[in-house]
Structure formats: C-alpha cells, structure tokens
Amino acid sequence: MTAGDNQYTAGGRLRHLLTTENLSRDTLTHILDTAESFIDFGQREIKKVPLLRGKTVVNLFFEDSTRTRTTFEIAAKRLSADVINLNASRLSTNKGETVLDTVRNLEAMHTDLFVVRDSQSGAAYLISQHVPEHVSIINAGDGRHAHPTQAMLDVFTIRQHRQDFHNLSVAIVGDILHSRVARSQIHALNTMGVPDIRVIAPRTLLPTEVERLGVHPYTDMHAGLEDADVVIMLRLQVERMQGSLIAGEREYFNLYGLTRDKLQRAKPGVLVMHPGPINRGLEIASDVADGDHSVILSQVTNGIAVRMSVMAILMGGRQKPDR
Amino acid sequence: MNGSRPDIEEILNVLETGLQDMLTLDPLLVGIHTGGAWLAEHLHHRVRLKEPTGYLDIGFYRDDFTRIGINPRVKASHLPVDIDERHIVLVDDVLHTGRTTRAAMNVLFDYGRPRSIILVVGIERNGRELPIQPDIVGMHLRLSATQHVKLHGPGELSFTISEKTS
C-alpha cells in the first residue's frame, strides 16, 4: 500500500489528495475543470461560495511555508470554511507529543479537512491512515516526496495556454533530486499525456535512474531547452542541500540559470514557469522572471482556484453519517 | 414517455407578452444554466435589450452538495454588467421544487444588490418545497411525482414529458 493507493474510497470517490501518482486522468481533469469555474471570482462583489460552510479546515504545517499556507487559507475561506492555522513545529511536537497525537486532538475538535505540510516524506500519508472516515487530508508538501496541488496548478497554467498536451515538450530545470514539486509534476504531466518531459540538472542533482519516471535527463541546458514549449524552473533549495552538490552559485547560474540567451533555444512562444519563491540571479535571471514569456504570477492566482477545486471535490458527495 | 409536448412557440409568445410591461425598466436577462440559459437566449432574440444575456451556474450553491458532490460539468457564472440597482429577469426552464431558484438568488446576491428580481419560467409544475412563486409563466402543468419535464436544446428548443426511470 502506498500513498497513491490510499486516495480513493472503495467506491472510487477521491477522499485524500496525497500525490499525483496513480491519480486518474479523469480525476485530474475534473479538478482542472472545476478550478476553471473558480477563476473569475475577481469580478464578484462577494468572493465566496457557500460550499464548505460549517466545515473546519486545519492547516497543519510542521514545516514553515507562508506562501503555500496563505493560498490554502484563502482557498478555504472563499469556500466559506472556518480555517485554523497551526504552525505545529512551534507547538506540541516540541513538547514530546507525536504527530498522530496532535492530529487526534484536532480531530476531537471536529476538523473535516487537514492540509498537511511536513519536511518528512510520508507525513500526510501516515496521517491519512489514522483519521476517521469523514476526515480528508491534502498533502501540501512532504519532504522530497510530493506536492500535488503545486503540480496541478502548473498543469492548469499550461492548459490555459496550450490546449493540446499530446505534442508538448516540457523541460523541468534545477534541483530535481530534492524536489517534491518536480516529482509531482512528472506524474501529472505523464498522466495528461505529455510525450516529452525533460529534466535538466547537474548530475549531482538528478536522482539515480530518473528515466524510470518517464523523463529524458539532460546535463547540458542548451540541449535540454531545444524546442521546448514550457520551461519550469525549480527553486534551488540551498537549505536542503548537504555537502557540496553544486560547485558554486555563480557557476550554477552560468550553467543552469535561465537567461534570455539560453531561452532562445526554446520555441518562440515558450512559457516560463517557477513555483516560487524565486532566487533571482541564481536559477533565473530577473529579466526572464519578469519577461514576456513568464507566467509566474498567474501561477500564484491559479493556485488559489486549484486548491479551492481540490477542497470542494474532497468535501462534496459524502453522505452524512446520520443519514 | 406519453408523447405530450408543450408547445415551445406558444410558451415563448406568452413569456414575450408578459415581459412587455417591464422592458421600460431596462432589465437584465439572466438564465440559469443550462435550460434556463437556452430559454433566456431565445427570449433575448424577441425583446429589445441593451446588454447580452447573463448566465448563472448554481453548482456551487446547491443544497445537496454534501450528498452528491460537485457536478463535473459545473460552469463559471457570467454576468455581463454590474447588477447593482438593476432590475433582473431571472429565467429558468422549469419551476419545480424551488430549490434551484433559491440557489440562483443566492448567487445573484454574491454579485451585488439588484433593485428587483422577477422569476420567469417556461413551465410551472406542482411540487414546490419552498415558498417561491413565478411572476411570468409560459405554461402550467400538473404532473404526477414520477413524471419529469425537460427542455431540450440549445438550437431548436422542445419540452418533453417522461416517466422517471429510477
């Protein structure tokens, strides 16, 4: 049993979102289509719908991430849920309480949905195995394993600009080894039928046997960007790196930083993406991050719609226990 | 199916006539997805209005969401203009329980505060579960609980009455 197997109920309804692995194309498309209908909320007087009224969402963050937590919080509030943010690393886990004890306590307060972020791979999956039937879990990033909503908002952003996935070349550049985002993106893009997924990184930042994920590895960025339709830059996670995996920041930028010059290799209408926060001048040049090809800020906006969609789909369609 | 077909031309004629009095108020026509939107579109061709038709999808406002979940075909609502202080003509194909109308009014109020709302329906049938009544009705029908009336479209519209299969 893996995280991918624990996402659906016996009846086939999506109950948890833990990983994009083993997620069906139907589910993925349903999430993206529903997100589409949440996109134009900006024009409304009241930027809320009552779908999750009376539901309690707990953002349980064992690892700090203001940006991700904020978008989940906004998403839940726009669905009219009550939201509680817990930065658990500063709470009871410091007092010796285990993660599961923390969750059981919050459950006793009638939480309906946990959004879980942890530096340990498998945290959301572990919690999903121990919550009662009416509680759902969204993985908001676990260690090196997965960050499914980020991958979905990236796929959503690509879909806004490219209708047909069946002739796309998508290049993911940077620290593939430590990146849960890259892993989730690769699964999602494979599921959507993208035929050419490339990963570009120094050998030290590529997982061994990365080809088994269904990607083409490149260590030369110029070759890897040739005729790409989409370039996804990853954040260089300096804080996760132990030892000297890169020679130096200047050399890294020279070899793997996205510059106008390197971008010339890609297709003329190429999309430049980045999950944020960006390290300007380290993995991406400022003029590219702010340039015409960049859709980085629409990724942020889309992130709210995609997270609303996931929450709405997980929380809907459940017979109340007393009926 | 018992073959009985309410006449769509007659229904549109009745609705068009019923709307004449309020056209001076410069109303905004708003159809409820999908049947109501088709009907609103056809009505829009018959009456002279400044703005295009608005559309409401009530998918996110249904009161049975917890039981049946999100409709996979839910669309974004679209209102062409600000509805504050506007007279709204809310159009639906069939008025049955009144739950759709209730949800549609909630959607409208999340976009602004209309001056007034009137409810226009192609067919009014029995079976109300909420205190909601139409202002302009194309046709009244009395059906048994197992009968179902449905509008087909979007090009050529037609109503059919059938026995519920479940």
Question: What value of ipTM does the predicted structure carry?
Answer: 0.72
From the list B61, B68, B112, the residue facing A317 with the nearest CB is B68
pLDDT for A319 beyond 60: no
Residue ranges of chain B with per-residue pLDDT less than 50:
1-3
Q: How many CA atoms lie within 13 A of A92 on its CB side?
A: 12
- Is residue A145 within 8 A of residue A117, CB to CB? The reply is no
pLDDT at A244 over 70: no
pLDDT tops 50 at residue A261: yes
Shortest distance, CA B22 to any CA of chain A (angstroms): 26
Q: Which of A272, A192, A267 is nearest to A234 (CA)?
A: A272
A1 CB-contact burial (10 Å; exposed 0-12 / middle 13-18 / buried 19+) = exposed
Residue pair A288/A303 in contact (Cβ under 8 Å)? The answer is no
Determine the pLDDT at residue A106. Answer: 83
pLDDT for residue A94 is more than 80: no
Q: What is the pTM of this model?
A: 0.86
Q: Which residues contact A240 (CB under 8 A, 6 or more apart)?
A: A175, A178
What structural domains and CATH numbers belong to chain A? 3-145+301-314 (3.40.50.1370), 148-296 (3.40.50.1370)
Which one-letter DSSP state was computed for residue A280?
Answer: B
Query: B61 and A316: CB-CB below 8 Å?
Result: no
Q: What pLDDT does residue B166 have?
A: 61
Q: What gap in Å lies between CA A194 and CA A198, rounded to an integer?
A: 11
Which residues of A are less than 8 Å from B110 in CB distance? 44-46, 48-49
Contacts by residues A122-126 (CB-CB < 8 Å, ≥ 24 positions apart)? A122/A3, A123/A62, A123/A99, A124/A3, A124/A16, A124/A18, A125/A2, A125/A3, A125/A6, A125/A18, A126/A99, A126/A100
- Angstrom distance (rounded) from CA A160 to CA A154: 10
Q: How many CB pairs under 8 A join A and B?
A: 59
Q: Which residue has the higher pLDDT, A182 or A101?
A: A182
Nearest-CA neighbor of A172 among A114, A113, A228, A233?
A233
**Least reliable range by pLDDT among A279-283, A316-320, B140-144:** A316-320
3-state secondary structure of A40: helix
Give the residue from A29, A180, A37, A264 showing the smallest Cα distance to B58. Answer: A37
Say whether pLDDT at A96 is over 70: no
Chain B contact for A36 (CB, 8 A cutoff): yes
Query: What is the widest separation between alpha-carbon atoms in chain B?
Result: 46
Contacts of A315 in chain B (CB under 8 A): 66
Question: At how many degrees (to 10) do helices A296-315 and A25-38 cross?
Answer: 110
B81 lies within 8 A of chain A by CB? no
Q: Does A37 touch chain B (CB under 8 A)?
A: yes
Contact A287, A246 (CB under 8 A): no
Sheet of A169-173: strands edge to edge?
A: A216-218, A196-200, A169-173, A230-233, A271-273
| Cβ–Cβ contact B114 with A under 8 A | no
Residues sharing a CB contact under 8 Å with residue A50, sequence separation 6 or more, in sequence order: A80, B60, B61, B106
pLDDT band at residue A240, thresholds of 50, 70 and 90?
low
Phi then psi for B122, rounded to 5 degrees? -65, -50
Helix spans in chain B (H): 8-19, 35-46, 65-68, 99-111
Q: Please report where in the chains the tokens 């295009």 appear, as a residue.
A: B52
